[in-house]
Amino acid sequence: MLDGKTVLITGGTGSFGKKCTEIILKKYKPEKLIIFSRDELKQFEMSQVFSVEEFPCIRYFIGDIRDKDRLYRVFDKVDYVIHTAALKQVPAAERNPIEVIKTNIIGSENIINAAIDRNVKKVVALSTDKAANPVNLYGATKLCSDKLFISGNSYSGWHDTRFSVVRYGNVVGSRGSVIPFFMKKKNTGVLPITDKRMTRFWIMIEQGVDFVLKCLETSHGGELFVPKIPSMNIIDLANVIAPDSKHEIIGIRPGEKIHEVMITRDDARHTLEFTDHYIVEPEFQWWSNDDYISNGAKPVPKDFEYNSETNPWFLTREEMKKIISNLEIKDANI
């Protein structure tokens, strides 16, 4: 699908963006692959790994998604946009609300307008489980962003631009997340645990990229795609990483939930289940799910909720141990 096409990744220097670049360059032959982000140092470092000499299709563009004019310029002749740029640190969002609103909400609006005006074929935007029944500003801004992208399909008018959203949970081992944190704390013999009951959805970055690329290919426009992924329990994780450490219960932090939700009960009435994922359908008059149903999709039960606590798929300690030992994190000495 991406062969001969021009693909642009907003936030291309981020964790997702870099892995997505690696996978696209391995699997496809795009005409151009544009990395769009603000910081020249991150772009310089990325260009040492994915150099223009070795990969002549790659382009590095500095820009901010808050800047409409810049987006209008760089979206020229772009076929597909993978929108990952975001401010995503929960505590920073609480302290700097308007900055997060400008990037995650206004930035999304700019992407939608530029994509429509520049006749981009498809845009897929990354969301998070924190956007479902949000309790922190980061999640709330991502929910607004999700809604903007879904609605974008109704106001693209005579243009053919189609927008969809992919929502998933914590990326295993991502910067600032619990695994590197526990590994650092392991040497002290005490792991701080917020709440013994805490569960989280878990996804590997490669899995996330493959899922996003598949959704980009198959989307009709208007879907919110959610992969079926396992949950893990925080105590199991702590015991896998540091079996000899004591646990210090520090209490839940502002903006955190004990369990995460990916699909709320209120969304159940328009959610379809597939073998390996769900789709929350848009509520457009023109929307038809006929071909999804004829391909085996089934509506979920009315009281369905996709929740990290009630998820039927939990990782065992052995499975976690295997995943963690394969991560490229220094000190993964378990």
| Residues in contact with ligand NAP by the rule CB under 6 A | 10-11, 13-17, 37-39, 42, 64-66, 84-88, 103, 107, 126, 128, 142, 168, 170-171, 174
Q: Cβ-closest residue to ligand NAP?
A: 14
Diameter over CA atoms, the chain: 63
Active-site residue identified among 122, 130, 142, 257: 130
Residues 6+ apart with CB under 8 A from 236: 315, 317, 320
Among 96, 223, 77, which residue's Cα sits nearest to residue 150? 223
Amino acid at residue number 25: L
CB atoms within 10 A of CB 61: 15
Residue closer to ligand NAP by CB (options 256, 287) is 256
* Terminal C-alpha separation, the chain: 40
Residue closer to ligand NAP by CB (options 60, 304) is 60
Say which residue the tokens 């085996």 belong to: 296
Shortest Cβ 73–ligand NAP spacing (Å) = 14
Q: How many residues does the chain have?
A: 334
Residue closer to ligand NAP by CB (options 63, 299) is 63
Residue closer to ligand NAP by CB (options 241, 297) is 241
Shortest Cβ 237–ligand NAP spacing (Å) = 15
Contact call for residues 172 and 179 (beta carbons, < 8 A): yes
Say which residue the tokens 């899995």 belong to: 207
Shortest Cβ 313–ligand NAP spacing (Å) = 18
Shortest Cβ 43–ligand NAP spacing (Å) = 7
Q: Quick one: tokens of 34?
A: 């544009």
- Catalytic residue status for 130: yes
Positions annotated as catalytic residues are 130
